[in-house]
Structure 1
């Protein structure tokens, strides 16, 4: 019997069948207009102001990075403007005893966790002065490969458990990365071994130029946790208060030895994939319609002003402090000495391999040292 290959092609799902939208099954504490939906779960006013300041600080870095890139003072940078709540609200739930595994788009999370601004600038300048992470921070360099950070985070979490600590590991991924095998293997691995992990899945609508609806028929990515026997939570990723509360609960659960959680933060990549990208080539105004009105910084500011937790004068002072901090950090980064070629091999392994030693010796010889 002869078998022939079918010429039929699977029909792509219509755009309206698999929306990237905010639905009723999602945790939300503040509406886009700043109105409270669940007062009982709100963090205290001091925490709300702290989260607001962290978001303003993260946004300022993102905005200044664009300027630095366009004036030749920064390398290609993946902007995250509009996703501050997703990154700040998650990373703010950690302590410096915990682990952070960021993707290339999670500069806001790394800054929130404590990565110094001068070093962050140096990293995105591709300078060796930004390659080695601070010894007092358990943060990994920004992951460029997709999804490899998830199994690494499980390993770090299991190591902490074996040491008898209550420390957790938090790893980030995008909606596109959640289709990678490493994502699923890590969730299964963590669930089976009860690893103290918090997995953050930032569903920002796009995997470079591919919309979420084109890569999966699933409309609730947090449900992927069900297949691995772990909790999954979907949260409004433009609501920093809801994101923080949900993440804090997951972190505390992991600390108690109750295992991992997958958190899907529903947000949107309003900016290009990188500063060198042109999103108008693959998405339309209809794709991005309505997301500016969901701005996370404006949302929390509106709430804080309405509740009397923040005044216009205090807000202006926060902005002045953030601007001054960044300019001082930029001056420090500008003062770093020019890197030498041999520095490219200095931070590959804690103990250099014989091959790296030979390469370093060759580079030094070329430099006349």
Structure 2
């Protein structure tokens, strides 16, 4: 199935040409801001992969090809909304104000990477969810709470195309429809659930059709077109805040990298398919549009690339300068009140560390 031929919401094609009248909000400052963040997060992604390859980061899920998807979401959410991400959502979290250091901490195995309390506007956002689709059930609970509280807020949850085959997603979708809660589901349909292609993941033509069974609105959008993504997300969030129900958005994209740094995608997909997918990628598309409009130049590009590299290197320096967590911290976030056995184990770890430190200095 040629996914690019599916009917979907789109404003700019892969050659940077408008195919529909752009929304009023899509002016030069807004779109150049989107572009800058998309470029920055791609340069960050390349650095993060390099850090993993040199043993300075744990297993890392590249988001290359998802920059339009993530930046649109992060920009569309209001500070008092709640974002429930999945693991490939660094661009959205960056656009929400979460520093790169936090992302590096998380994938470096430091739980403090999930602590957003430094930013009161976004401390309600949930951390990354690595288990597939379980974040959808969390999102239902969050959105139900927002409705009970009576404020005009919305929750937004992201997931991959593989997650749509899980019961957690389908049950969450059903609850969202029955309870009429302020929730937006967004599927990053990047065509591969690790090594399982979209073509055998689901028999439906569009994953957004799954909304019908839940009685909510389903929309398919070009996830490589940041203008289309942002436009649909702001409208869906506005609808949710007004108490008009949930929405399921399917964003058509492509995973241009491996599933994670523990994967080798060349084992299950062809080089020809990958090269064809690169023709539709989001950054080049927006750059061509901006150049055609006279809103960007190669001089701007060079300056911004240099700025991005400096910004990323500074974030890496900050990450590497962090004092490691004490070993006993692994016990501190499991239970609200740990039992006696866990307390004994924690004390043992502390005493062992103290004896080791004493031996080092004795």
Alpha-carbon distance change, 251 to 272 in structure 1, aligned in 2, over 3 angstroms: same
Q: 1:61 aligns with which of 19, 41, 44?
A: 44
Alpha-carbon distance in 1 for matches of 2:86, 2:97: 16
| Alignment partner, residue 331 of structure 1 | 317
Unaligned stretches of 5+ residues in structure 2: 356-362
Alpha-carbon distance in 1 for matches of 2:339, 2:245: 40
The offset of 1:164, in angstroms, is 1.7
1:29 aligns with 2:15: no
Residues 161-198 of structure 1, C-alpha deviations (whole Å, 9 max, x = no match) = 21121111111111110000010111111111111111
Matched residues, number? 350
The offset of 1:39, in angstroms, is 2.0
Matched position secondary structure for 1:342: helix
Q: 1:74 aligns with which of 57, 72, 80?
A: 57
| Alignment partner, residue 148 of structure 1 | 134
1:179 aligns with 2:187: no
Alpha-carbon distance in 1 for matches of 2:52, 2:2: 30
1:239 aligns with 2:221: no
Task: Give yes or no for contact 1:238–1:294 (8 Å, CA) kept in 2.
Answer: yes
| Alignment partner, residue 79 of structure 2 | 96
Residues 312-333 of structure 1, C-alpha deviations (whole Å, 9 max, x = no match) = 2323332232222222211111
1:220 aligns with 2:220: no
1:167 aligns with 2:153: yes
The offset of 1:70, in angstroms, is 1.6
| Alignment partner, residue 10 of structure 1 | none
| Greater fraction helix | 2
Give the 5 Å matches for 1:269-308. 269-308=255-294
Residues 217-268 of structure 1, C-alpha deviations (whole Å, 9 max, x = no match) = 1121111101111111100111111111111110111111111110000001
1:52 aligns with 2:28: no
Alpha-carbon distance in 2 for matches of 1:84, 1:359: 43
Give the 5 Å matches for 1:131-142. 131-135=114-118, 136=120, 137=122, 138-142=124-128
| Alignment partner, residue 358 of structure 2 | none
Unaligned stretches of 5+ residues in structure 1: 1-18
Relative to the length of structure 1, the TM-score reads 0.90
Task: Give yes or no for contact 1:200–1:263 (8 Å, CA) kept in 2.
Answer: yes
| Alignment partner, residue 175 of structure 2 | 189
| Alignment partner, residue 262 of structure 1 | 248
Relative to the length of structure 2, the TM-score reads 0.92
| Alignment partner, residue 192 of structure 2 | 206
Alpha-carbon distance in 1 for matches of 2:288, 2:55: 36
Alpha-carbon distance change, 215 to 40 in structure 1, aligned in 2, over 3 angstroms: closer
CA RMSD of aligned residues (A): 1.7
Alpha-carbon distance in 1 for matches of 2:303, 2:332: 41
Matched position secondary structure for 2:13: coil
